A and B are shown apart, each in its own frame.
Chain A
Amino acid sequence: MSGLAVGLALFAAMLVLMALRVPIAITMLVPGAIGYAILASPDALLNHLKGFAYARMSVYDLSVIPLFLLMGQFATHGGLSRALFGLANALIGHLRGGMAMASVLACAAFGSICGSSVATAATVTQVALPEMRRHRYSGRLATATLAAGGTLGILVPPSVPLVIYGILAEQNIAKLFAAAFLPGFLAAALYCAAIFLYVRLFPDHGPASERHTLAERLALAKEVWPVAAIFVVMFGGIYGGLFTPTEGAAVGAAAALATGFAKRELDRAGVVQCFLGTAETTGMIFMIFLGADLLNSALALSQMPAMLATAVATSGLPPVAVIVAILLFYVVLGAVMDELSMILLTIPILFPAVMGLDLFGLDPASKAIWFGILVLCVVEFGLIAPPVGLNVYVVNSFARDVPMAETYKGVLPFLGADVLRVSLLIAFPGLSLWLVKVLT
């Protein structure tokens, strides 16, 4: 069998196993092991596996992931989302649709100390949803806002998928984070704009409410300072050249824990929950990482990625058309797969092809960063789009009286905002790359 035939067979085996409910990590690990044994030799496989787990799990840049997840857990259980929503709501909640906009801002702010979108959606929902429903916001607008707002958790740095992308594409994590800030703000702004237009068309979905006094606003602002402090110390340290992103995550986790204790939101039982929650997510991510890595090693032996890169480079298609096609492919894939599996599976195959394209004359590093931000944006579509938008499920589970279909309907304006954002990011690479130049 030729290398290409083996490569395609591995892919087919993976898809079949996936359809049969085998854990995604294993759908990649088992075909990867078999393919490696065929393309190299069984002995070579056994030898490769000796140092495999340690070598992959001890990558210093990857150590950032469990630490960021731990920080996110401390922040979630530490009641920090309540303070963020409280302040945003006091500032703009009285406007028509203002509480929904405040939820978006709270999500963006929480995302700046949390690298996971489901966690962001869940924690902000718990504080913002009851408040919106009490002020007669429609279930559709309230739940959709929170499902979409949750995606800001991974778009605004820190971001676990972006770390994974950085490892696979061999790019600097700090630069990738810098590139994601402006797209993150843009996303929050466009979501607020979507809400603004929505309540113009349907005023009864997000009625205006009472204005807060200056004293109330100042009191709530005091509650928010720990989040701001954690953010400033963490990213200040990283971009001030004081420490690495991994150390930044460690400092952030320690600071979030201290804040939780100081606010008396965290006790010993809470810390145990945080550890166990971190264990679940970390274990899940690294199992997929191991599986994808072994499959990609086998695919590399089959020469498939190199052949694909050559085929794309010599196809004569306009480079931007290739990029758009890849992004559409992610949207389709996102209907059935989670964002990390998609990135882990596809980047090693597609990245060489993308790097072979001439895009606006960008240098390789800039091209890699820009493409990473685009991928990060489109893999989020799957989180809020039918048929299995994970964020929609999570938020909807807090609102038993709102049918799932209502939430999906409400998500449409936000998907529109997403499409607009991705188009802007494609057309203007500077949106992603400008801050990288300024900060690093």
Chain B
Amino acid sequence: MQATGGQPPPVFFSAMGRALELLCKALALAGGAILGALAVMAVVSITGRLFGRPIQGDFELVQMGCAIAIAWFLPHCQLRRANIIVDFFTVRASERAQRTLDAAGAALLAAGLALLAWRTGAGAVAMKAGGETSMIMAVPLWYAYAAMAPAFALAAVTGLYTAWLEWKSR
């Protein structure tokens, strides 16, 4: 967390902030581990294919795994302020104005992600009710939805947290 000057944050918030940061990092590392596992699986699958023993439908796992990993990356991405902005038009604005705009931007990002979390959660419920599965391996699709929705929610919370940090640092 960046030192932001001014008054020290209330203890409750700083403890929550640290917990949030740990959670974001852990989720991102878990996403990285999924990618690593997919890479290993690809090597195994290709080797198997060469020797006439293909893994049927492994691409479905790649699709689902990547979708989940990407969603799990989003909270850390926002925590690191990696969601790029255009600063060309505001380079001459005051520091205070810039921080205020950044706080508003992060809050809007939180709203967008909250919408995605809500709808993806609704999608998970619908997918489970409909019993939809992948074509070849018959993996229930709602697994992926259910893994992604909480990550969007965490990214939304992180958006609010970064908005609060920006606001505080004005």
**Which residue numbers of A lie inside 8 Å of B, CB to CB?**
17-26, 29-30, 33, 46, 49-54, 57-60, 62-63, 66-67, 70, 237, 242-244, 246-247, 250-251, 253-254, 257, 272, 274-276, 278-284, 286-288, 290-291, 335-338, 341, 387-388
Contact = CB atoms under 8 A, between A and B. Distances in A.
Contact of B85 (A21, A278, A387): A21
A386 to B, nearest CB: 11
B63 A21 contact: no
Contacts of B74: 283, 286-287
A23 B105 contact: yes
Given A30-B108, A53-B116, A254-B42, A283 B101 contact: no
A24 B32 contact: no
B112 A67 contact: no
B161 interface: no
A46 B119 contact: yes
Nearest to A290: B116
A57 to B, nearest CB: 4
Contacts of A242: 46, 49-50
A283 B105 contact: no
21 contacts: A21-B86, A21-B101, A23-B105, A25-B83, A26-B105, A50-B123, A53-B120, A54-B145, A57-B148, A58-B66, A66-B73, A242-B46, A244-B59, A246-B59, A250-B41, A276-B29, A283-B82, A284-B83, A288-B84, A336-B86, A338-B84
B38 interface: yes
A101 B90 CA distance: 37
A26 B84 contact: no
Interface string B1-45: 000000000000000000000000100110111011011111101
Contacts of B76: 276, 279-280, 283
B77 A63 contact: no
B153 to A, nearest CB: 12
B32 A274 contact: yes
The 4 closest A-B pairs by CB, nearest first: A283-B77, A275-B32, A250-B42, A49-B119
A243 B105 contact: no
A113 to B, nearest CB: 14
B64 to A, nearest CB: 6
Interface of B: 25, 28-29, 31-33, 35-36, 38-43, 45-46, 49-50, 59, 62-64, 66-67, 69-74, 76-78, 80, 82-90, 98, 101-102, 104-106, 108-109, 111-112, 115-116, 119-120, 122-123, 126, 141, 144-145, 148, 152
Contacts of A54: 67, 120, 123, 141, 144-145, 148
A23 B40 contact: no
Contacts of B108: 17, 22-23, 26, 30
B104 A276 contact: no
A121 B108 CA distance: 33
A111 B71 CA distance: 27
Contacts of A254: 39-40, 42-43
Nearest to B105: A22
Given A21-B101, A54-B120, A54-B123, A60 B29 contact: no
- For the residues of A in contact with B, the DSSP-based class is helix
Contacts of A62: 66
A242 B123 CA distance: 36
B105 A20 contact: yes
Given A30-B108, A53-B119, A57-B66, 19 more contacts: A22-B85, A22-B101, A22-B105, A25-B109, A53-B67, A53-B123, A53-B152, A54-B67, A59-B63, A242-B46, A250-B39, A251-B43, A253-B35, A254-B40, A257-B36, A278-B35, A279-B77, A282-B70, A284-B82
Nearest to A242: B46
Contacts of A274: 32
Contacts of B109: 22-23, 25-26
A278 B80 CA distance: 12
Nearest to B63: A58
B45 A19 contact: no
Nearest to A248: B42
Contact of A21 (B72, B98, B111, B122): B98
Given A21-B98, A50-B126, A237-B46, A66 B115 contact: no
Contacts of A25: 83, 109, 112
Contacts of A59: 63
A236 B136 CA distance: 28
B102 A21 contact: yes
Nearest to B28: A279
Contacts of B89: 18-19, 336
B40 to A, nearest CB: 6
B70 A60 contact: no
B85 A335 contact: no
Contact of A60 (B31, B63, B77, B122): B63
B28 A23 contact: no
B99 to A, nearest CB: 10
A335 B42 contact: no
Contacts of A66: 35, 66, 69-70, 73
A387 B42 contact: no
B71 A57 contact: yes
